[in-house]
Structure 1
Amino acid sequence: MIILGVILILIGILAKIGILYTIGAILAVVGVIFWILGATGNAIGGRNHWY
């Protein structure tokens, strides 16, 4: 999710499409939150690991 967010941010910047930049930023932030929660050992949505 983090990689997809970064790709969308780059495409949004290069193509000057604001919605892609916004969606990419949201995906990157959510991905980082899931990564941090998973690293601390908390189950997310009933799952111990997100792949």
Structure 2
Amino acid sequence: MLGWALTFLIIALIAAALGFGGLAGTAVGIAKLIFVVALILFALSIVANIIRR
């Protein structure tokens, strides 16, 4: 998931450099969303691992 977030971030940087502001904003929003979901899933996996022990 972090790979996808990084991909969208790179797309946003390239789009911003080329002047596509709308596309860049959308790509940044998607990257943020994927990053937050990845962090939540990581935290849940840590909590589940602690509970299993």
TM-score by length of 1: 0.66
In percent, how many aligned pairs have the same letter?
24
- How many residue pairs get aligned? The number is 42
Unpaired segments of 5 or more residues in structure 1? 43-51
The residue identity in structure 1 corresponding to 2:47 is T
In terms of fraction of residues, the more helix-rich structure is 2
Unpaired segments of 5 or more residues in structure 2? 17-23
The alpha carbon displacement at 1:29 in A equals: 0.7
TM-score by length of 2: 0.64
Aligned counterparts of 1:14 and 1:25: Cα–Cα separation in 2: 16
Name the structure, 1 or 2, with higher relative contact order (CA <8 Å, separation 6+). Answer: 2
Q: RMSD between aligned alpha carbons?
A: 1.5
